[in-house]
Chain A
Amino acid sequence: MNRMPQFLLYLIAKIKKFLLHFKTQKKMKEIMTVYYMEAKSARVGGRKVAWITSGGPVEPLIAMDVIPVYPENHGAMIGASKMGTALCERAESMGYSTDLCSYARSDIACATVNGGPIGGLPRPDMLVCCNNICGTVLKWYEIQARYFNVPLFILDTPFCHEGFAEEARRYVRRQLDEYIVFLEKVCGRKMDHDRMREVGRLSLEGQRLWQAVLDTTTLSPAPMSAFDAFYHLALIVTLRGTQEVIDYYTQLLEKMKDRVAKGIGAVPNEKYRLLWDNIPIWHRTRWLSQKFASHDACLVADTYTSAWCGTMKYIDENRFFDSMAEAYTRIYLNIGVDEMARTVIGMVDKYGVDGIVMHSNRSCKPYSFGQYDIQKIVERERGIPSLIIEADMVDERSFSESQVSTRIDAFMEMIKHRKS
């Protein structure tokens, strides 16, 4: 009998207990390490692994005790580890276009070489693809479904130019039932609807806490910056619907409130407050943070991290599963530019910002399309300037430090003049 897998499970349980024992803030790194370790050894514990898109409905997976894994979160890790270029080059040698999203290129290449910072993602038992974030995921997940020879579920969320049509609601709601059927088939057991309701409750509570954490930066000096938020975001994205998320953000909120009470700011001499738009430039977050801090500027909020608590207004806590249809369809990337601009202006007012920094992300058309319009609208409605930085979230070849540095410096010179 092979004792190794049992030993691995035992080891994981021991590590978890050890970490809990100290009653200190479980660090993100520890949580994510355990999370990925559990995912990689899922088979040993008889659990299944699902790969899911960042905007996909994870709650049913949690309710079915399936471990959700996010190729996009992995993509962010690849970018942060500066391993993006090599993986993108591999994808290109496989025949994928340089114009294809760098998350997709990295993930597709990574699967073939088990590359990246954690030696590749664990093999999926199923794939769940929701196109609320973009259309690229459809083909990307079809490729991976063929590569791993596993079943794929697609949740098709129609684009909401204005409002939310009743037909769209019915369409998406019907697919959620199909999603449950799919999960029951792959897992070989029925969904426990009480458990599903519980997970829904936990998900909403987690989102409320995340919103509360993000709200702490409305104060000046902001206790954390968008760059901190990019880091703390991982849990609400990957493990939404678990108690773990609630515990972590409860402690984080306490920590932020404490910093606020003591007047401790993320940027020591916060003079200028800015809003970040688009996915982070994962391979340059520290450089960007220091660059803006050198100008006494703090990125106090962003449209990216707020997206994971942005659709709470559509969730009916007494009918979580039903309202998932609207909540998952009306996300920031699935609405018209006018509504995106209104959201941005809302954040400008809420956080009292002096300017906006927009990452024109080569890899993400849904997020980058409309930025020039939003820039114009914001200038017209609020009279504040926006800087557009051209780069890529993971592919370092699309980042020119000298160019970006000059543009940031010039933008800050302009902000300083406007404010004085």
Chain B
Amino acid sequence: MFTAGIDIGSITAKAAVIADGKLLGTRVIFTGYNSGVAGEKVFHELLEELHLNPSTIRKIVSTGYGRNSVTFASKAMTEIICHGAGAHYLNPAVRSIIDIGGQDSKVILLDEKGKVKNFAMNDKCAAGTGRFLEVMARALEADLDGFGTLSLKAGCPSRISSLCTVFAESEVISLISKGEKREDIIAGIHESIAARVAAMANRVGVVPPVVMTGGVAKNIGVVKAMEKKLGIPVEVSSYAQVNGAIGAAVLAMGMK
């Protein structure tokens, strides 16, 4: 049986296809401003890549903020339950998931069966999410993809105290003018994110093994900063960004 998962996030739209319990493929595109169009596009592009006809897909589950715009989905589910299912599918030993997306950060606790036991999401604002990193990359005129490796070279991470993303940008600009090294500033940005998310993680009670998912997990600097703040190892799968879509496809399997 073929199933698909479509995760429409604030920055990227992801799709995954599973056939008889085996992951066939995934795809990531930018969401843009039209979630519905992005959902169709990422789904069809993935099917084309896999040489599959849309009619072969039995059930589709949509997730993410744009989940209700995917009109052709069989069901919409939140990204909490989908990330839980995805992480469990990729590694059944996982008990805690830290997901940092475009504008959301969440901590999800799983039981032995891979079901969501508890969760917490960022309160009030998006500082400490992918959006924060985007703004910082712009301020530093750096390539966001290179943030991770750059930060590992840091000698002494800068301290960024602003809670607000917009104010933090001003703070970063003033650090640049003071002559602080780019790597140090980037490392400071990562520590800022890690501090916010770790506080939420500790509040809900993370239990190892911990895995990071979401687009920001691709940033090795943030992962390392999280490990340092939590004091426990944090795993990252190569499927981090598409974990939600995979989970959605897994949950679609369970649908009648």
Is the Cβ of A390 less than 8 Å from the Cβ of B124? yes
Bound-state CA distance A56–B30 (Å) is 56
The A/B interface has a contact count, at CB < 8 Å, of 36
Residue among A360, A372, A414 making CB contact with B116, cutoff 8 Å: A414
Q: Which residues of A contact B203 (CB under 8 A)?
A: 372
Is the Cβ of B118 less than 8 Å from the Cβ of A385? yes
Is the Cβ of A414 less than 8 Å from the Cβ of B65? no
Is the Cβ of B81 less than 8 Å from the Cβ of A410? yes
Q: Which residues of B contact A409 (CB under 8 A)?
A: 77-78
Name the CB-closest residue of B to A398.
Answer: B124
Bound-state CA distance A390–B79 (Å) is 19
Is the Cβ of A402 less than 8 Å from the Cβ of B65? yes
Mark interface residues in A398-420 (1 if CB within 8 Å of B CB, else 0).
00001100110110011001000
Is the Cβ of A413 less than 8 Å from the Cβ of B81? yes
Q: Which residues of B contact A406 (CB under 8 A)?
A: 65, 78-80, 104, 121
Bound-state CA distance A410–B119 (Å) is 9
Is B115 positioned at the interface, with any CB of A under 8 Å from its CB?
A: yes
Name the CB-closest residue of A to B108.
Answer: A410
Residue among B104, B116, B121 making CB contact with A413, cutoff 8 Å: B116
CB contact list, B77-133 vs A, under 8 A: 77-81, 104, 115-119, 121, 123-124
Q: Which residues of B contact A410 (CB under 8 A)?
A: 78-81, 116, 119, 121
Is the Cβ of B123 less than 8 Å from the Cβ of A413? no
Is the Cβ of A413 less than 8 Å from the Cβ of B124? no
Is the Cβ of B77 less than 8 Å from the Cβ of A413? yes
Also in contact, A413 and B118, with CB within 8 A (given A390-B124, A402-B65): no
Interface of A is mostly: helix
How distant is B80 from chain A, measured CB to nearest CB, in Å? 4
Q: Which residues of A contact B79 (CB under 8 A)?
A: 406, 410
CB contact list, B116-170 vs A, under 8 A: 116-119, 121, 123-124
Name the CB-closest residue of A to B76.
Answer: A409
Q: Which residues of A contact B81 (CB under 8 A)?
A: 410, 413-414
Bound-state CA distance A13–B193 (Å) is 65
How distant is A168 from chain B, measured CB to nearest CB, in Å? 35
Q: Which residues of A contact B104 (CB under 8 A)?
A: 406
Q: Which residues of B contact A402 (CB under 8 A)?
A: 65
Q: Which residues of B contact A407 (CB under 8 A)?
A: 121
How distant is B151 from chain A, measured CB to nearest CB, in Å? 29
Name the CB-closest residue of A to B121.
Answer: A407
Q: Which residues of B contact A413 (CB under 8 A)?
A: 77-78, 80-81, 116
How distant is B235 from chain A, measured CB to nearest CB, in Å? 23
Name the CB-closest residue of A to B123.
Answer: A390
CB contact list, A180-233 vs B, under 8 A: none
Q: Which residues of A contact B65 (CB under 8 A)?
A: 402, 406
How distant is B66 from chain A, measured CB to nearest CB, in Å? 10
Name the CB-closest residue of A to B119.
Answer: A410
Q: Which residues of A contact B116 (CB under 8 A)?
A: 410, 413-414, 417
Q: Which residues of B contact A414 (CB under 8 A)?
A: 80-81, 116-119
Mark interface residues in A370-389 (1 if CB within 8 Å of B CB, else 0).
00100000000000010000
Which residues of chain A have a CB within 8 Å of any CB of chain B?
A: 360, 372, 385, 390, 402-403, 406-407, 409-410, 413-414, 417
16 contacts between A and B (CB under 8 A): A372-B203, A385-B118, A402-B65, A407-B121, A410-B79, A410-B81, A410-B116, A410-B119, A410-B121, A413-B77, A413-B78, A413-B116, A414-B80, A414-B81, A414-B117, A414-B118
Which residues of chain B have a CB within 8 Å of any CB of chain A?
A: 65, 77-81, 104, 115-119, 121, 123-124, 203
Known: A406-B65, A410-B121, A414-B116; 9 extra A-B contacts, CB below 8 A, are: A407-B121, A409-B77, A409-B78, A410-B80, A410-B81, A413-B80, A414-B117, A414-B118, A414-B119
